Amino acid sequence: MKEMSHDAQKFYNLRNFLLNVKNYNEAVEDFRWPRITKFNWALDYFDKIAEGNDKTALIFADVEGNEEYISFDEMRKRSNRVANFLNDLGLQKGDRVMLMMDTSVEIFELFLGIMKAGGAIIPASTLLSPTDVSDRIISGEVKFVVAHHPYVERVDQAGDTLNRLTGMICVKPEKQDCNCEKQDNMPCWVDYYDHLRYEDSFESNFITFSSDMMFLFFTSGTTSKPKLVMHSHHYPVGHLTTMYWLDLKPDDVHYNISSPGWAKFIWSSFFAPWNAGCTAFTLKYSQFNASQVLDAMEKHKITSLCAPLSVWKLFGQEDFSKYNFALKKMVSAGEPVNPEISKMAEKLTGIQLREGYGQTETTALIGTFPGQKTKPGSIGKVAPGYEVKILDAKLDEVEPGKDGQICVATYPVKPQGLLTAYEDSARNKDIFKGGWYLTGDTAYRDDEGNFHFVGRVDDVFKSLDYRISPFEVESEIIEHPAIMEVGVIPTKDEKERIVPKAFIVLNPEYNANRKMALEIFRFIRDNMAPYKRPRSLEFMDEFPKTISAKVMRKDLRAYDEELKKQGSKGAHEFYEQEFAKELNLRKRK
């Protein structure tokens, strides 16, 4: 391996410490964020471990049977060509590049190439509408757009906004044209594969400071427009905590089930595996299919898996006994894991499902780390390098067992995995206060230091003066054997009072009808405290989801609000009061 710069060597030393640390206590006690001034992860770390390294860095596969194996050295060369290509197109240091792309080899080449060329990366969902594209170009001050061929038309429909761009790059299959018609003041689409004509060596003509922008993510809540989260070149240093939580080692083949438009893809498909020097695996599909994914995991000898709750629910419908997996470790993030799902996952695989917690704004903050035993209902303990407390509205720490907001200390040392800021000064005043970053998530801590997730501050709601955690209610309802998935939201009853409503997807062998609704209402009344019982439930064939199978709960709320506005009910919606006689209900006042 070639000699690293002084700052890159600090990163490399910390990486090696976490790869070889004996236990969690040692990791927490001895972890120190390094002072890094000049650092470009792609040039100063990746290229140094990649040059001459024939080990497989990336395995790409799709459900049609296509496969590609790319070594670290080959990925170094490919990304160098991309960097030279981008510089030739006019990319300047600090220019923002929006990627609207599917899972692919090209997106990994581009991540590295853009970093090397000095750009800042804005991943975007392939589900964006033309209006969304336009909004992001404007608010993100985007200079270049790179899109896979199927999404070019939606970018074109963004209209005059494209006049703001310096360049547009189309990633297309062979024999397909980018269909660019040159217009005044508007860049024309350029073929991405033009980069193959460039040299596979790259020399940077600028200094990358650790404070320069590296990744920017659009993230949105249920009540506001998308916010732009900014991460500097400290960000991959922060993802050493992600690498440690995943328990990745150089000999692993790691598969993260996520879409490239989201921060979790950057977390677990890009930085964490290559921080560890292991092989990343990625699978392309148009729609998630559990059996196809499991087939690929067996074929490619996946040793490490990161998958969200929604995927584990779908895995639960499959026969794991027919597979011969190489799996050694598995984690879940993105959605809190119900205890029932954790038990099911361990029963299917014989491996403990460890949970982790973080945000687009952070790296891995909390988790069940290597060697620790999962505690049912807990998301784990604090990651090395972070100080995390549960605080009340006055920023005072609450006693164990009491709810409060998850807050991360930014003083005296700001963790290097934490966002630089939002690109919104007013919003920054809300999240950075008194030496703390306020996550907006509610939890409590038990006497052993384990954190228990309650919900988003905005999602937790009051019902008849009781606090309701949707996650807590979902965890209790899903224990009914007929239920595969459940999502709980606040709704209004006939007297305009806020009450819980449960959306339910049944296991395939059960039918959505009045008899089943009565059975579930009986289960709810027998097993749940009265104040948090859903007063209505609605059966659905499936939930609205992202391409990576994560439930879009805000869409459920919007759907329910539209029903209320129309004064109607869902086709398979039932109210508890409809079963007053069978359930022996007293008339509600």
pLDDT at position 182 is 56
160 contacts: CB under 8 Å, gap ≥ 6: none
Look at residues 396, 405, 416, 478 and name the one whose alpha carbon lies nearest to residue 445: 405
What residue ranges do the domains of the chain occupy?
A: 1-32+239-384, 72-230, 387-457, 461-583
Q: pLDDT-derived band of residue 399, with 50, 70 and 90 as boundaries?
A: very high
Q: What are 171-219's pLDDT values in tens digits?
A: 987 656 666 665 667 788 999 999 999 999 999 999 999 999 999 998 7
Distance between CA atoms of residues 21 and 487, nearest Å: 39
Q: pLDDT-derived band of residue 226, with 50, 70 and 90 as boundaries?
A: confident
447 contacts: CB under 8 Å, gap ≥ 6: 400, 401
Q: What are 237-288's pLDDT values in tens digits?
A: 999 999 999 999 999 999 999 989 889 999 999 999 999 999 999 999 988 8
Q: What are 296-314's pLDDT values in tens digits?
A: 999 999 999 999 887 888 8
Asked if 228 and 423 touch (Cβ cutoff 8 Å), the reply is yes
Helix (H, G, I), strand (E, B) or coil at 70: strand
pLDDT at position 223 is 39
pLDDT at position 173 is 76
What values do phi and psi take at 538, rounded to 5? -135, 125
pLDDT at position 317 is 87
Q: One fold for both 1-32+239-384 and 72-230?
A: yes
Helix (H, G, I), strand (E, B) or coil at 531: helix
Q: Which CATH architecture has domain 72-230?
A: 3-Layer(aba) Sandwich (3.40)
Q: CATH classification of 387-457 is 2.30.38.10, yes or no? A: yes
Helix (H, G, I), strand (E, B) or coil at 77: helix
Distance between CA atoms of residues 544 and 542, nearest Å: 7
Tokens of 278: 């292991």
Q: What are 438-463's pLDDT values in tens digits?
A: 999 999 999 999 999 887 776 677 67
Asked if 443 and 419 touch (Cβ cutoff 8 Å), the reply is no
| pLDDT at position 467 over 80 | no
Look at residues 573, 576, 575 and name the one whose alpha carbon lies nearest to residue 562: 573
175 contacts: CB under 8 Å, gap ≥ 6: none
477 contacts: CB under 8 Å, gap ≥ 6: 483, 486, 488, 502, 504, 520, 523, 524, 528, 534
HSE at residue 197, side-chain half, CA atoms within 13 A, is: 7
- Cα–Cα distances (Å) from 583 to 51, 201, 479, 573, in that order, read 70, 74, 20, 17
Q: Domain 1-32+239-384's class?
A: alpha beta
| pLDDT at position 507 over 50 | yes
DSSP string, 417-437: TS-SEES-HHHHHHHEETTEE
- Tell the residue number behind the tokens 């392309």, with chain if given: 284
Tokens of 240: 């050493």
Look at residues 109, 116, 137 and name the one whose alpha carbon lies nearest to residue 41: 116
Look at residues 72, 37, 39 and name the one whose alpha carbon lies nearest to residue 56: 72
Distance between CA atoms of residues 517 and 146, nearest Å: 48
Q: pLDDT-derived band of residue 222, with 50, 70 and 90 as boundaries?
A: very low
Q: pLDDT-derived band of residue 470, with 50, 70 and 90 as boundaries?
A: confident
pLDDT at position 557 is 86
Distance between CA atoms of residues 436 and 96, nearest Å: 29
HSE at residue 222, side-chain half, CA atoms within 13 A, is: 17
Rounded mean pLDDT, 424-448: 93
Distance between CA atoms of residues 169 and 190, nearest Å: 5
- Cα–Cα distances (Å) from 150 to 3, 127, 177, 360, 446, in that order, read 42, 11, 11, 27, 49
Q: CATH classification of 461-583 is 3.40.50.1220, yes or no? A: no
Pick the residue with more confidence: 474 or 370?
370
- Tell the residue number behind the tokens 């296991």, with chain if given: 507
Q: What are 82-125's pLDDT values in tens digits?
A: 999 999 999 999 999 999 999 999 999 999 999 999 999 999 98
